[in-house]
Homo-oligomer: A and B are copies of this chain.
Amino acid sequence: MMNVKKSQVLRNVSEVPSVLAFSQTAPDAGDFGGSIRILLRWKGSIYKKIWKDLLVYYGLYYLITIIHNYVLDEDGKIAFGALAKYCLKNSNSINVMIMLTFFTTTAMHRLFAMQTMIPGTAKVITYFVLSLKPNLPEGPIIVEQFARWTVLAWILTFRTVSKPLRSMFPDIISLQVAGIVKEKERLLLERVETEQNKTPRALMVIDWMLLLMKDCSIQNRFSEKSNYIKVVEVVMTFKKGCGNTIKFATNNMPYALIQAVIIVVYTYGFVTLMARNVEEASTCTFVEVIVNYVPVVPSMQFFVFLVWLDFGRVAVNPFGTDDDDIDVPLLFKTHVQDCFRLANLYSQDFEQIFGPLPQ
């Protein structure tokens, strides 16, 4: 049996879906209080994401203002004004916008497509459990082994794409300690993905599952013969899901595009730092103060771009540790729990729970 460490597997009550839903569902759109509550939220908020950049930006902004007002001489001020005007002309925000829209839309398009292909363990296990003959003496053991291997294939797949899961299970030994892998299986697994045998480990485990099913078919353990090929189909879909997950993570957006977007956004930020209408400012003290000390409009634009960029980059790598990332360790716990529960279906009996049906 899997003796996964308690602290690793047991999720807190705050992680039960319905509780999560209470706290995570967005408030109604028509609700004014809802808008306020959304704006005041800190977790995963725009403020949390950009407060550091904000500090740096405003620091630099005031530094430039101070240099202009107190450091530069007349000539310097003229050069400064000319440069500021030049920057103002070239701070074309629409292009940055179109580029960001393209980048983020593409990244999210991929992400959504991937989310529908992510492999789940529940369907595979349920299918296998329910397609076996009931009351086989070796049934519970087979079912436990199959369910454990399904979870194992899932872990070996997500270990390659998710850093948090990788630090949870840095090697096969750690999986054995957690009871997910048995001694014998560990030895087999350690032989692959090496110089001699380059089979990916997840595929190895799926092969075991197929062999176990072949054995069940030979030993006539399926309640109907045709169930065998149906379960094979479900396992192949699971395998494809695993493959797609790895493909998505390693073969996603071209680096050059991500680099281009980052460079464009930060260059825009630097340009807006300088892009101040010095001439206009000098016509009126009130506006001068605003231009020099309250750069709300240009900075807001830049910060919106930063958030947008961040949004796209999270979509490029959704298995990391960002606030909006998919919480792979939580997902792992859910899969382990499901796997226990579904394997139990084999030995559970309807009448034991609800009593005999009235005739």
Verify if A99 is at the interface (C-beta below 8 Å from B). yes
Verify if A191 is at the interface (C-beta below 8 Å from B). no
Among A35, A141, A271, find the residue whose CB has the most chain B CB atoms closer than 10 A. Answer: A35
Q: For the A-B complex with A28-B320, A39-B259, A211-B345 known, give 7 more contacts whose Cβ atoms are closer than 8 Å.
A: A21-B160, A25-B249, A26-B258, A90-B298, A131-B229, A260-B303, A260-B304
Cross-chain contact B359 with A138 (CB below 8 angstroms): yes
Cross-chain contact A90 with B284 (CB below 8 angstroms): no
Q: How large is the interface on A (under 10, 10 to 19, 20 to 34, 35 or more residues)?
A: 35 or more
26 residue pairs A–B, Cβ–Cβ below 8 Å: A13-B194, A18-B200, A21-B161, A25-B163, A26-B313, A29-B310, A29-B314, A29-B322, A30-B322, A38-B258, A45-B255, A82-B286, A86-B290, A93-B95, A97-B99, A98-B101, A102-B104, A105-B105, A123-B240, A130-B214, A131-B232, A142-B357, A211-B353, A212-B350, A223-B228, A227-B229
Given A16-B198, A184-B354, A345-B211, CB of A108 within 8 Å of CB of B106: yes
Residues in chain B near residue A254, CB distance under 8 A:
44, 311, 314, 323-324
Verify if A307 is at the interface (C-beta below 8 Å from B). yes
How far, in whole Å, are A71 and B341 apart by their CA atoms in the complex?
Answer: 73
If over half of A's interface residues share one DSSP class (helix, strand or loop), that class is named, otherwise mixed; here it is helix
Q: How many copies does the complex hold?
A: 5
Cross-chain contact B287 with A86 (CB below 8 angstroms): yes
Verify if A121 is at the interface (C-beta below 8 Å from B). no
How far, in whole Å, are A22 and B161 apart by their CA atoms in the complex?
Answer: 7
Given A16-B193, A214-B130, CB of A137 within 8 Å of CB of B95: no
Verify if A174 is at the interface (C-beta below 8 Å from B). no
Smallest beta-carbon distance A247→chain B, Å: 8
How far, in whole Å, are A284 and B277 apart by their CA atoms in the complex?
Answer: 16
Smallest beta-carbon distance A335→chain B, Å: 12
Selected from B17, B78, B102, the residue in CB contact (under 8 A) with A101 is B102
Smallest beta-carbon distance A209→chain B, Å: 10
